[in-house]
Chains A and B, each alone.
Chain A
Amino acid sequence: QKEVEQNSGPLSVPEGAIASLNCTYSDRVSQSFFWYRQYSGKSPELIMSIYSNGDKEDGRFTAQLNKASQYVSLLIRDSQPSDSATYLCAVNVGIRSAGGTSYGKLTFGQGTILTVHP
């Protein structure tokens, strides 16, 4: 089982619709969760971070986290053609070592390609 899995794409939605992106993770002690957007040929750009169970809203974006189900999702309302990109789910577990716990490693899903058509 992959550590972080995203719903298979590509996902195509009409302009103005709600796009729903899903992600499951395997490590129960995961601490923090992120959604990044990556346009073709560009680097990942942070969209949302979420740390506690429930919903977190930021403009047209809503992240949902359910730690019991090990599930995190991203909803994009009123989708626009400019939202067309690859969306990456990332999870941070924290790695313990002699020097303490470090949170420098993000584990990414394979990404979901979203296309919003006019």
Chain B
Amino acid sequence: KAGVTQTPRYLIKTRGQQVTLSCSPISGHRSVSWYQQTPGQGLQFLFEYFSETQRNKGNFPGRFSGRQFSNSRSEMNVSTLELGDSALYLCASRHGLAGKETQYFGPGTRLLVL
């Protein structure tokens, strides 16, 4: 099976712009979670989607949003970019029994905000 794919892999934006990142989960996986990784804060949970519904959201401002489509592909959007949004954005698809689900990460999108 193909793994989790994320596009684009690298992105350079300027402050104030917005960005949309895309994630395609492993075939058959219906759940997607998004994370932000920075050197200072480490890996932090953004939000998760299951069957086109956002199930949970992390402690991030409303500028961060996402959605999931009927084919389980997911997008996340960051509006009004700030310098601090520079990070590696990771998408993970998961499967398994409730409470024993395993998450598999995609290669990530590295965002640089200038």
Contacts and interface: CB of A to CB of B under 8 A. Distances in A.
Interface of A: 31-32, 34, 36, 42-46, 49, 51, 88, 90, 92, 94-95, 97, 99, 101-111
A56 to B, nearest CB: 13
A104 B43 contact: no
Interface in B10-37: 31, 33, 35
Nearest to A99: B55
A32 B43 contact: no
Interface of B: 31, 33, 35, 42-45, 48-50, 53, 55-56, 58, 88, 90, 92, 94, 98-108
Contacts of A109: 42
B98 A107 contact: no
Nearest to A103: B101
Given A102-B55, A105-B58, 8 more contacts: A34-B102, A46-B102, A104-B33, A104-B48, A106-B33, A106-B103, A108-B44, A110-B42
Contacts of B49: 104
Given A44-B105, A111-B42, A104 B99 contact: no
